[in-house]
Amino acid sequence: MSASIRGQARLWTRPGIVVATAVFALCLLTLGINGLARAGEAAGEGVAGNGNYARAHQHQDFVDGQFEPNASVLITVTDGGGGLKGTGSGTADGSGWMNGVYAGADILPGDWIHVASSGGFTATLRMITITGRVDLAADLVTGTMAGGSFPARGDVEVHSPITGTGMPISITASGHFTADFSGSFDITQGDEVWAWYADADGNQVGASAFYPFVSLNVNYAHEWVDGRTLPGTAVAITLTDDGGGFKAAALLTADAGGYFGTDCADWSTAPDCPDLAVGDGIVAAAAGITATVDPIGEITGSLDDAANTVSGMLTAPFSGTLAVWCEVWVPNGPPAIQTTADAGGGAYQCDFDDVGWDLAPGQDVAVSYYEPDGDRVINVLTFPWMRVNYAHDVVEGEYPAGHTLWITVTDSMAAVKATAVVTTQPGAGWNGDGFHTDWWQWTPGQPDIVPGDSVAFAADDGYQNVVGVGRLTGIVDLAADTVSGTIGAPGFSQPLGVECHPWGAWENGESADVKASMAAPDGSSGYLCSWAGEWDLVPDRDVAIMYVEPDGDRVINVVQGFASYLPAIRMP
């Protein structure tokens, strides 16, 4: 199995394409949401006064707002008939502001969004129909709303990659509104424009205002491309190498929010993802408009958990300075940090002490630069983390390219079983740079790695690590489309995360998400991963089960189901 297929895990960044578009957009716009909703409170104080309030966005499927300091916030979305659609949760910061969190459902007009905080705030919002239009030449936003109580107040926000603005609006008795930004803000292609309606309690519901455009986000670490255009529009994406030669193509359709995004199965290289590399070119064509990132620039960097900093270099095909953002891609992560760097090899640094965040192993940091037209190029920096696959006798890991690692496998009595020397390579990890051992790299030969063994790592830059090989059992139930079992992970006392990766689905060009569970390290309580109603588990399809240590290291076993009247049981 190729690293590119395995890289489709994306559990911590893009949990499946339907959720992914909303989640990724929230990552992209977190700073803008926070800044626009609070700066001067054009939206908040102008509509909701000084009190607490909640906002829900139809096309972004998020809820944000002002709550009690450090309050926990629960979100429940129901349809017009009261049927449950989904739930979400988030936490307000020390000032009471909660950045946008996924509401757990595709919010549609007529839905109810119920919001409750641990500090006593409650609100019920009803999503109304909001239709907005943007005139780029006139910097004018107009539209209509239906389903609310009019006349009413609201506001319009414009989110650019670097900055943004907001304007209070009056909504007429017939539901019409106008926001004229001429002379105050230049709305350009790729900007997000949101229109909001405020109810009598100051809570708000909003939606995107659309216009013909295409914007691109290119993540060359995780090998995906996504972006936005008009809803329901066909999007043709072409990838070329640094010499202009064809590498791959994909044909997508933007969803109801205008979002599109690639999975491996979408590319002409399916079931593999193409290798998106520095120097490649990407063109996306939709609605008679094209967006181009050519060539893909390079973002290097390193993470310092002691200093809580991210620092590196930027090389992109532009002159002058470019906007650079650093974002920690974890649930309920900190606000993004914005800085700048010279496009011709300039340095950048992001200090997460500035936002009160403690960088730690297991966290991914996305570092992005924005082209002058708003398209975004992303690299993802990770702390080193190692993987031991004792089902396939393979050792691999995420590590910056260009380093030498010495690997030693010992048995339970500390006797050496085998050693290997590897050089880390660009894109050789699951989600970036790293390494993967082959049989011929081992001396005296590829070891039979079993539970009870230990794998030690030492790098030329001083990095050292030891992974103890624990035990994972797996029961594959083909009828129920589930995998369940227990783990044995000596040295740990708290429950560990367990991930189930549907390798067999990806190898066969099928779409299936990684599933996450928990299990006790002593086997006293097990894990369960279910694809019921999502993916049909059939005989001989690999499922990789792995437990995740607190520092992100993983121990892996691989199970299969067999054509039998009994479920398959895989014991190490």
* Extents of the domains making up the chain: 3-16+212-293, 40-208, 298-382, 385-468, 471-570
CA distances from 287 to 204, 211, 284 (A): 31, 10, 10
CATH number of 3-16+212-293: 2.60.40
The pair of structure tokens assigned to 211 is: 């216009």
Strands 385-389 and 554-559, how do they pair? parallel
Structure tokens at 313: 């270099």
Contacts of 72 (CB under 8 A, 6+ apart): 89, 90, 91, 92, 117, 118
For the structural domain made of 471-570, what CATH number should be given? 2.60.40
> In whole angstroms, what is the distance from residue 171 CA to residue 47 CA?
12
> What's the DSSP call for residue 7?
G
Neighbours of 480 (CB within 10 A): 14
Reported as a single tens digit per residue, the pLDDT across 63-75 is 999 999 999 999 9
Fold of 385-468: Immunoglobulin-like (2.60.40)
| Closest by Cα among 518, 530, 517, 542 to 482 | 530
315: enclosing H helix or E strand:
strand 309-315
Q: Copy the structure tokens of residue 210.
A: 């659309």
Single pTM value for the model: 0.72
pLDDT at 563: 54
Q: Which two tokens stand for residue 152?
A: 């009413």
Residue 242 pairs in a beta bridge with none
* Distance from C-alpha of 436 to C-alpha of 398, rounded to nearest angstrom: 9
Q: Is 344 helix (H, G, I), strand (E, B) or coil?
A: strand
pLDDT digits (tens, 9 = 90+) for 522-547: 999 999 999 999 999 999 899 999 99
Q: What average pLDDT score do residues 216-239 get? A: 94
- 113-150 pLDDT, tens digit each: 999 999 999 999 999 999 999 999 999 999 999 999 99
The Cβ of residue 397 has, within 10 Å, a number of other Cβ atoms equal to 30
Instruction: For residue 170, count other CB atoms closer than 10 A to its CB.
Output: 12
For 340, residues 6+ apart whose C-beta sits below 8 A from its C-beta are 321, 322, 323, 324, 348
The string of DSSP letters for 58-78 reads TTTTEEEEE-STT-EEEEEEE
Instruction: State what percent of residues in the chain have pLDDT above 70.
Output: 89
CATH fold group of domain 298-382: Immunoglobulin-like (2.60.40)
Which pLDDT score, from 0 to 100, does residue 271 have?
82
* Domains 298-382 and 471-570 equal at CATH topology level: yes
Instruction: Collapse the DSSP code of 194 into the 3-class scheme (helix H, G, I; strand E, B; otherwise coil) and give the result.
Output: strand
